[in-house]
Structure 1
Amino acid sequence: MNRSTLYTHFIKFLPAILLIMLSTIASCSSDDDPQADTDDDKVETVTLHLADAAATNETKALYSNLWAIQKTGFMFGHHDDLIYGRDWYTTAGGSDVKEVCGDYPAVFSVDFAEIMDDRSETSDLNDDRKRTILEARKRGEVITACAHLNNPLTGGDSWDNSDNTVVKKILEDGSETNIKFKSWLDKLSTFVLDLKDDNGNTIPIIFRPFHEHTQTWSWWGKSCTSQDEFIGLWKFTVDYLKGKGVHNLIYAISPQLDGPSTKDAFLFRYPGDDYVDFLGFDSYHGTYTESLSTNLKNLEEISAEKLKPCGVTETGIEGILKDGAEYEEYWTKEILTPLIGRDISLVVMWRNKYDPNHGGHHFFGPYIGHSSKNDFVDFYKSSITLFSKDLPDMYTMAENVTVE
């Protein structure tokens, strides 16, 4: 073949040769250069599971956001913040947190006990509990509830641990205590099913029954119950509420861990992944910040292992004191610092008791008269602390999260 013929064939097949070369280069670039991956390849998706397979769409959406928001920061919460404060009582729009920083807490914590037990007919706050839950939901905030229930056997309060047969009798079908306890759950069912948002959908609640079960003081605690009894009580409660058509609860466990602990200690009497949705702990560690840091690390690891969102469900120092004096830098040093870099969805402070004469110091959250208020404003301004105005739509499904 002469040179002229070779040139003619080369020109004829040049487009094909160039196409092969470009394809080879593109293939090598894609294989060798990790930056060539598409954004879709980098997106992490996750599937979460609720204890209640029939949970409402809004409940599933909230749950998805509790998981997703852990990568953004942590929501700040305060118990009873919308119902009363240090110097006010049942004032519409009231909030000690808002008075200090100009924004409501992202998480509103309430107590369901007086809605459920023998105080339900006499409590002066149940209407306000409902009102404030509706207000919090209207602003897009998250609601969580504990239950300091009276002892259904003895008639004493939550801290009456004088009879270690109470849970055994709750679980004895047809017993007087069993019937009474079920009537309390019936009242809870009626209450939570009546909580509706502006679209008529039931409002999701993070419900943590039998909190601090690792301690001895409550009638459901470790001094009054065996492991099987406590787990049986938990499962009975969840199953009964689901059986009553309650599908807007996210079930949270919250052992009390004041000192540095272990993962095994957190899982003390754990009812099982099929009955627990949210992993929390109550921490009254004072200024022992290393203890909080250790327990946060363990909680974060368990959360990742079990694919369940997590948070600090109660904490604080009564009076916000250090060595007997007001602790002016409490918020940034004791709460913010140990949470930096942690995948934790929420931190909830215990209540500020109504005490207009300031006769005591039973308060755990900020209020305008405490010298830590300026530090709280700095805490509020942090990029990882989330308050009401910072929240995404917590009741629409988070991206890349599926809930079953």
Structure 2
Amino acid sequence: MDAVSRRAWIVFTAVLPAGCHAGLSGEPAATVAPAASGPLDRGATPETRALFLNLRRLAREHVLFGHQDDLAYGVQWSNEPGRSDVKETAGSYPAVYGWDAGGLERDGAANLDGVAFERQRAWIAEGFARGGVVTLSWHMRNPVTGGNAWDTSAAVRAILPGGPQHAVYVQWLDRFADYVKSLRAQGRSGGEVSVPVVFRPFHETSGGWFWWGARHATPEDYRRLWRFTVEYLRDRKGVHNLLWAFSTDVFDSPAQYLERYPGDAYVDVLGFDDYQSVRTPATRDLFARRLRDVVELAEARGKIPALTETGVEAVPDSAWWTQTLLGGITANSVGRRIAWVLVWRNATFEREHRYHFFAPYPGQASVPDFVRFRQDSLILFEDELPDLYRVTP
């Protein structure tokens, strides 16, 4: 089935949601949890609500493909308008665009991977205008030491309300709020709208390599930090174009996955990052089990399940896309109901002097298999997307 035909039959019906608000205490709010039919923010923009509903519904039939920093650079180019390694190999831009806010906290001009925030703003608007989904992670610097996100000196308790660095963290959130509010583009009805963003802070929380990770903050402190962040941005700063994505690294059981979970009233997307069990077909069953667990946990809560990061550096297996990634996703009828999968960035070789890429580029050995992956009826790229920003009454 061609892209136009595949898009034509996808029709959405949904009811706009209700939600809940909470205080700024960092503790669970004594309010009703958000209705299963909508996002946690009852003041979310219409486009943000529609994106939540449509992603959750579409996940029953399709998986969107995403790529980090796709429009900014590729293995053999950088900052060239219109270019994309994904488009140049598969014939379409990705359906999901990953970006990062690391550096905003220090009022920097570019993020940790050298992407200028002004350019990133324009690329975000460009992807949205074509119907794509925008996700934003935040490799935030350590607020106590000033080191990078991998500086694991204790910091979480220090930035909670009452902590010695709390004011610093609030200032960082103010800068983030200003940036997210500046993400504007022409809407489907002609006027300018806020671009909906799937925001994924404090990611890979079950790991120990970031200062907010499991080895460096208690589950309760992590939950308090997450809840404060939601409440401050939503209730104090009036940011209403975010869907909130909680993501662990790999996990051994649903109980471990939920150990640091902030609560249903504070999360829209349940995701996980997996670079470990996707390396070869030999670990495909483990990968498939984790997908199944996340889908079941998300669906039980009325949330969106996602594989928020994955990939194998340099894609050495020429059949990885269909045999390992797609094979794991389709291994059971539950795990295939994830909303999207996002592979990491394609670093420019001339700039970084290493082959650090996770999607193919022209001439790379896995291109033919990537095309087969793209042609599978389960997988959607940008040119196959229905309108994700409008709900059919």
Q: What TM bracket, shorter-length normalisation?
A: 0.7 to 0.9
**Partners of 2:67 and 2:342 within 8 A in 1:** yes
The CA deviation at 1:128 is 1.5
Once the two structures are TM-superposed, the CA of residue 226 in structure 1 deviates from its matched residue by: 1.1
2: CA distance between counterparts of 1:44 and 1:350?
32
Contact kept? 1:112, 1:146, Cα under 8 Å: yes
Provide closer, same or farther for how the CA distance between residues 231 and 357 of structure 1 changes in structure 2, counting only shifts above 3 A. closer
Contact 1:206 1:249 in 2 (8 A): yes
Q: How big is each residue's C-alpha offset from its partner over 1:219-246, in whole Å with a ceiling of 9 and x where there is no partner?
A: 1111211111100110111111012010
* 1:47 shift after superposition: 4.4
Find the residue that maps to 2:185 and give its secondary structure.
Answer: coil
The corresponding residue for 2:232 is 240
The offset of 1:307, in angstroms, is 1.1
Partner of residue 173, structure 1: 162
Question: Pick from 344, 367, 371: which aligns with 1:377?
Answer: 371
Please state how far the C-alpha of 1:359 moved relative to its aligned partner.
3.8
1:143 aligns to what SS in structure 2? strand
Give the residue type in structure 2 aligned to 1:334: T
CA contact (8 A) 2:309 2:343 kept: yes
SS of residue matched to 1:217: coil
| Structure with higher helix content | 1
Question: Could you say if the C-alpha distance between residues 281 and 355 of structure 1 is closer, same or farther in structure 2, counting changes exceeding 3 Å?
Answer: same
CA contact (8 A) 1:139 1:388 kept: yes
Q: Secondary structure at the residue paired with 2:59?
A: helix
SS of match in other structure, 1:314: strand
- Residue type of the alignment partner of 1:380: R
Question: Shift of the alpha carbon at 1:102?
Answer: 1.1
Deviation, structure 1 residue 369 = 2.8
Worse-matched range after superposition: 135-144 or 351-360: 351-360
Answering whether residue 127 of structure 2 is matched by residue 136 of structure 1, we say yes
Does 2:308 align with 1:313? Answer: yes
Indicate conservation of the 8 Å contact 1:136/1:143, yes or no. yes
Give the distance between the partners of 1:44 and 1:245, measured in 2 at CA. 25
Q: Deviations over 1:36-66 (max 9, x none)?
A: xxxxxxx998942322111111110000011
Alignment partners' CA distance in 1, 2:107 and 2:206:
26
Note if 1:120 corresponds to 2:108: yes
Give the counterpart of 1:345 among 339, 343, 355. Answer: 339
Q: Is the 8 A contact 1:68 1:398 kept in 2?
A: no
Q: Which amino acid aligns with 2:213?
A: G
Distance 1:312 1:122, change over 3 A: closer
Aligned residue runs from structure 1 range 242-281, under 5 A: 242=234, 243-257=236-250, 261-281=252-272
Q: How many residues align?
A: 346
Matched, 1:80 2:74: no
- Alignment correspondent of 2:199: 207
Alignment partners' CA distance in 2, 1:398 and 1:101: 30
Structure 1 pair 392–298 and aligned structure 2 pair: CA distance change class (3 A): same
From 208, 225, 228, give the equivalent of 2:220.
228
Unaligned runs of 5+ in 2: 1-12, 16-34
Q: Which amino acid aligns with 2:362?
A: I
Q: Are the aligned partners of 1:97 and 1:104 in contact in 2 as well (CA < 8 Å)?
A: yes
State the superposition RMSD in angstroms: 1.8
* 1:174 to partner: Cα distance: 7.1
1:348 alignment partner, SS class: strand
Alpha-carbon separation, structure 2, partners of 1:241 and 1:304 = 26
Checking the alignment, whether the CA contact within 8 Å between 2:136 and 2:199 is kept in structure 1 is yes
Q: Which position in structure 1 is the counterpart of 2:324?
A: 334
Match of 1:7 in 2: none
Q: Secondary structure at the match of 1:240?
A: helix
For the residues of structure 2 that align with 1:379 and 1:172, how far apart are their CA atoms?
Answer: 47
Pair 1:161 & 2:161 matched: no
1:314: Cα distance to partner?
A: 0.2
Cα distance in structure 1, aligned partners of 2:246 and 2:349: 31
What is the match of residue 10 of structure 2? none
2:265 aligns to what SS in structure 1? coil
SS across alignment from 2:248: coil
CA shift in 2, pair 1:344/1:398, >3 Å: farther
Q: Residue deviations 1:333-354, cap 9 Å, x none?
A: 1111222242111000011111
Per-residue deviation, 1:293: 0.4
Q: Which residue of 1 aligns with 2:5?
A: none
TM-score (norm 1): 0.82
| Matching residue within 165, 169, 173 for 1:185 | 173
Q: In the alignment, what sits opposite 1:48? A: 37
Gaps in structure 1 of 5+ consecutive residues: 1-42, 322-326, 400-404
Asked if residue 195 in structure 1 is aligned to residue 189 in structure 2, the reply is no
1:149 maps to 2:137: no
Q: Aligned partners of 2:221 and 2:320: how far apart in 1?
A: 39
Q: Is the 8 A contact 1:65 1:398 kept in 2?
A: no
Instruction: From the CA coordinates, give the structure whose radius of gyration is larger.
Output: 1
Distance 1:384 1:306, change over 3 A: same
Q: Determine the structure 2 residue equivalent to 1:355.
A: 349
Give the 3 Å change call, closer, same or farther, for CA 174–331 of structure 1 in structure 2.
closer
Q: CA deviation at 1:264?
A: 1.0
Secondary structure of the 1:343 match is coil
Aligned to 1:293: 288
- TM superposition score normalised by structure 2: 0.84
Tell me the CA shift for residue 398 of structure 1: 5.3
